[in-house]
Amino acid sequence: MGKQPAFTGPFAPSEADLAQCVRCGLCLQHCPTYLQTGLEAESPRGRLYLIKAMSEGLIEPTVNVTGHMDMCLQCRNCEAVCPSGVPYGRIMERGRAEVLASGRAPFSWRLRALFLREVIARPGRLAILASALRFYRASGLRALAERTPVLRDRVALAPTITGKAFKRRGVLGQPQGAMKYRVGLLTGCIMPLAYGRVHAATVRVLARNGCEVVAPATQVCCGALHGHNGDLPTAMELARRNIDAFLAEEFDAVIVNSAGCGSAMKEYGDLLVEDSAYAERAQRMASRVKDVTEFLASLPLQPPEAPLGVSVTYQDSCHLAHAQRITDAPRDIIRAIPGVRFVELPHADRCCGSAGVYGLTQREMSIRVLDEKMRDIRETGAEVIATANPGCMTQLEAGLRRHRMNGRVVHIVELLDESYRRRGIRV
Ligand code: SF4
Ligand code: SF4
């Protein structure tokens, strides 16, 4: 009699998904962890093999096996280049969910799931954590830690929390001129605490382009981090709450300025496909979700007229480029801004090492990947690094500090907003 499969729960990756990998290896040279280690077990093909072996009961989810799963950035670069169309992201999320549900997950996985569920998904508790991080920076403790060699790498990737939180709900922006669109805005969990300025810029840019911008009061965290880390039940619950919140109103689009959140929300239909009460609504919601760059590039964009006079490079956010397959829209917007010298970044589509909580759980690999990214950025000589996701912004800001480089990191909408506002336009 064969061994009992390690995966017997409701989230087991399907045989059809797993069978799609023909082991051609074409994805290997696109995988940041394979490039760093040269190890098959740290490659997409190797990890798919491990997940398949677990689902067939050939191996157990030992710490060794879960360690290889953990080392994956879930950047989905392998998925974007795979000629067989292997849905790597779905397989990895489901594999993690099965390990977590089996009761044989390492303690670190269970602790991480608890933190994401009980802190990240709860705005009150998250605000307390943000206040602690704000104090940590404002008191000079972080600067001190960054100058202390034994602590330097440990504190390098902590997010920067500055300024006031973006707490607004309801109607955030009125269209300038005639209203052309009514859009909902996902405000999210960490974004309003760490990058409230990006939300403010997003609202102004959308209003400048004829949108009424509304943030439904009952929306919650999108659930991306929970899904990536194997807590699919929490991801599903958060998805249902967002579907209720956003479908309660008539919106032309649901705008998201965080690539990781947008990619998770575009996959709500897949996440809830077996939930008879939500499956159809989840598909409807997913079809309305648009990354802010995707939405703006689809419009006759109000031309930005004030020149910025800066050199800009662009780091593709993995979940925008590989999961949502959006690479032209951000570049088109940057190029549309007068006075911007756009410099293409070598390996722009390769992960920066941020990957949600990866910088906290896999610090060493995260820093190795970041260091390579910063070498590429230095080569461009650009003064501004634009990107499309808060995790990437935090990681690249840490990279600038770590490598003592000048420059600033911005979300693309901030550049557009700067050009609009230099003409003295206020909305
Ligand atoms: S995931 Fe795709 S590219 Fe990678 S080995 Fe399998 S079939 Fe080939
Ligand atoms: S998701 Fe990224 S890190 Fe993970 S196997 Fe694919 S390319 Fe490698």
pLDDT at 164 (0 to 100) = 72
Residues 100 and 110 sit within 8 Å (Cβ to Cβ): yes
117 lines ligand 2 (CB under 6 A): no
Q: What does the pLDDT read at residue 1?
A: 46
In the predicted model, what is the mean pLDDT of residues 232-237? 97
Q: What are the pLDDT digits (tens) for 413-423?
A: 999 999 999 86
DSSP string for residues in 303-330: PP-S---EEEEEPPPHIIIIIS---HHH
Closest CA to 155 of 170, 165, 140, 169: 140
**Considering the domain boundaries, does residue 176 fall inside one?**
no
For residue 424, pLDDT over 60 is answered with no
| Distance from the alpha carbon of residue 323 to the mean position of ligand 1, in angstroms | 16
pLDDT band for 139, please (50, 70, 90 cuts). confident
Q: Please tell me the distance from the alpha carbon of residue 238 to that of residue 233, in angstroms, as a whole number.
A: 9
Share of the chain above pLDDT 70, in %: 94
Does ligand 2 have an atom closer than 6 angstroms to the CB of 235? no
Residue 426 pLDDT greater than 50, yes or no: no
Any domain includes 318: yes
Number of domains composing the chain: 2
Please give the helix or strand (H or E) that residue 399 lies within, else none.
Answer: helix 390-402
List the 340-343 sheet strands across, edge first: 340-343, 310-314, 384-387, 408-411
pLDDT of 156 over the 80 cut: no
Distance CA 46, CA 57 (A): 17
Find the CATH number of the domain harbouring 81: 1.10.1060.10
**Statement: residue 16 has pLDDT above 50:** yes
- Nearest alpha carbon, ligand 2 atom 7: 31
Query: For the stretch 388-423, what's the b/e string if a residue is b when 16 or more beta carbons lie within 10 angstroms of its beta carbon?
Result: bbbbbbbbbbbbbebeeeebebbbbbbbbbbbbbee
Please tell me if the CB atom of residue 88 comes closer than 6 angstroms to any atom of ligand 2. yes
Instruction: Say which CATH number the domain at 411 has.
Output: 3.40.50
3-state secondary structure of 182: strand
**What's the pLDDT score for residue 22?**
97
Each residue of 49-61: pLDDT tens digit?
A: 999 999 999 999 9
76 lines ligand 2 (CB under 6 A): yes
> Is 135 among the domain residues?
no
- Whether the pLDDT of residue 218 is over 70: the answer is yes
Range of the domain at 24: 15-105
pLDDT of residue 158: 66
Mean pLDDT calculated for residue range 318-339 = 98
Instruction: Indicate if the pLDDT at residue 398 is higher than 80.
Output: yes
Are the C-beta atoms of residues 120 and 87 closer than 8 Å to each other?
no
The Cα angle at residue 376 between residues 370 and 381, in degrees rounded to 5: 125
Measured in Å, residue 106 CA sits from the centre of ligand 2 at 21
Residue finishing a domain among 105, 134, 152? 105
Final residue before a domain boundary, out of 105, 136, 170 = 105
Q: Ligand 1: which of 18, 20, 27 to mutate, judged by most atoms within 8 Å of the beta carbon?
A: 27
Last residue of a domain, one of 58, 82, 105: 105
Query: Is 234 among the domain residues?
Result: no
pLDDT at 4 over 70: no
- For ligand 2, atom 2, the nearest C-alpha belongs to 75
Say if ligand 2 is within 6 A of residue 366 CB.
Answer: no
The pLDDT of residue 152 is above 80 = no
User: For position 130, what pLDDT does the model report?
Assistant: 80
